[in-house]
Structure 1
Amino acid sequence: MSNTKYILGSFADPDEMMHGIDKLQANNISIFDCFTPMPIHGIEAKLGVKPSRLPIAAFIFGALGTTLGFSLLFYTMSYDWPMNIGGKPSMPLPNFVPVTFEVTILLCALGMVATFFFRNHLFPGRAPRVMDLRATDDRFIIAIDAQENTDHALIDNLLKDAGAVEVKYNERKYVSYE
């Protein structure tokens, strides 16, 4: 096998890229990923991307925040240092609602930011990973795994017929900004 890892089809128009995806899928060629400078509605369904599981993470972080907020209030107000304030009970549940709500929102937001950075490998000091630098500016890129799809001439012809401005063969997985 060759050292080519990815075949990159560069398009100037998003409609041409969507047409290219249709042509490749009609010929049973699996697409690794698409890189675009702007969101394109419907591309996830066309590529078969599964729905995100981030709502599950948000619920877990929110439940953790609710539990921690209520536990902190219960421990301080009822267990550790109960005080008689105006004859009120030491565990006034309605008074716990605002603090519990705020801790829930805080932990949910911070947890989602941490999950986003972890899931997308956006750690401080890490170089961005992109297939082609023009995908962040004005090009729409279709990346095809060259190891899985061995008929490179067919892929090249399909991409050019669909309106690809350029077809490139990448030997490395990602190109950094350096």
Structure 2
Amino acid sequence: MEESSKVIHAIYTDDDILMSAVKKVKAAKYHIEEVFTPFPVHGLDKAMGLAPTRIAITSFLYGITGLTVAVVMMNYMMIQDWPQDIGGKPSFSFHHNMPAFIPIMFELTVFFAAHLMVITFYLRSKIWPFRKPQNPDPRTTDDHFLMEIAVHGDGKDLQKLLKETGAVEINLVDKAH
């Protein structure tokens, strides 16, 4: 296999040691392909140099979509299609009945934002039903942390650096494409 298809898997047992190692590896100008952790590690994305996520913007847009659907739906059903006099309060205009509509607007805003965000997250992360797991080491779902680094050349200097950063295990593997 080509040299560029080889990666080193450095395994750590503590998230603080992992963070320190990521900073040292980035400072040494190595490219970290991926880091697998059993839980989110605060600041890891910044230490790896990842771009900020735009998922909050999509969540806001999904919420606005839900609010728009709620307003259009209630205006059509309660004002235009079948206005009713409920409890002595006639439904002849939307703005007069707004206080009664607020819970529905809130619920549909949250419903759209939550459900569409889950779908967006799964699609963006390429996690869908029946997909084979991509995790290189099952211990990273329990209590270990794995840093995957591309190898160029023999990788001896990189392995030495990783050992100095506190890696408990270092494996050179062929990455399947």
Per the normalisation by structure 2, the TM-score is: 0.84
Say yes or no: does 1:110 pair with 2:115: yes
Say yes or no: does 1:75 pair with 2:76: yes
Determine if contact 2:8/2:170 at 8 Å carries over to the other structure.
yes
Aligned equivalent of 2:92:
90
1:21 and 1:89 mapped to 2: Cα distance? 61
The count of residues paired between Structure 1 and Structure 2 equals 172
Aligned equivalent of 1:34:
35
Could you say if the C-alpha distance between residues 10 and 75 of structure 1 is closer, same or farther in structure 2, counting changes exceeding 3 Å?
same
Deviation (angstroms), 1:113: 1.6
Q: Which residue of the other structure, out of 165, 170, 173, is the alignment partner of 1:170?
A: 173
Q: Which amino acid aligns with 1:20?
A: A
Query: Identity of counterpart residues, as a percentage?
Result: 34
Deviation (angstroms), 1:150: 3.5
Per the normalisation by structure 1, the TM-score is: 0.83
Could you say if the C-alpha distance between residues 157 and 72 of structure 1 is closer, same or farther in structure 2, counting changes exceeding 3 Å?
same
Deviation (angstroms), 1:89: 4.3
1:12 and 1:93 mapped to 2: Cα distance? 55
Q: Which residue of the other structure, out of 134, 144, 147, is the alignment partner of 1:142?
A: 147
Which has more strand, going by share of residues? Answer: 2
Q: Which residue of the other structure, out of 162, 166, 171, is the alignment partner of 1:159?
A: 162
2:89 and 2:6 mapped to 1: Cα distance? 74
Deviation (angstroms), 1:151: 5.2
Deviation (angstroms), 1:31: 1.2
Bigger Cα displacement from structure 2, 38-47 vs 156-165: 38-47
Determine if contact 1:131/1:173 at 8 Å carries over to the other structure.
no
Aligned equivalent of 2:52:
51
1:83 and 1:18 mapped to 2: Cα distance? 62
Deviations 1:23-56 (A, max 9, x none): 3222211211211223322222211122221211
Q: Which amino acid aligns with 1:64?
A: T
2:22 and 2:110 mapped to 1: Cα distance? 40
1:87 and 1:105 mapped to 2: Cα distance? 28
Say yes or no: does 1:126 pair with 2:128: no
Could you say if the C-alpha distance between residues 11 and 98 of structure 1 is closer, same or farther in structure 2, counting changes exceeding 3 Å?
closer
1:72 and 1:151 mapped to 2: Cα distance? 64
Q: Which amino acid aligns with 1:38?
A: F
1:156 and 1:87 mapped to 2: Cα distance? 76
Q: Which amino acid aligns with 2:39?
A: M
2:91 and 2:141 mapped to 1: Cα distance? 60
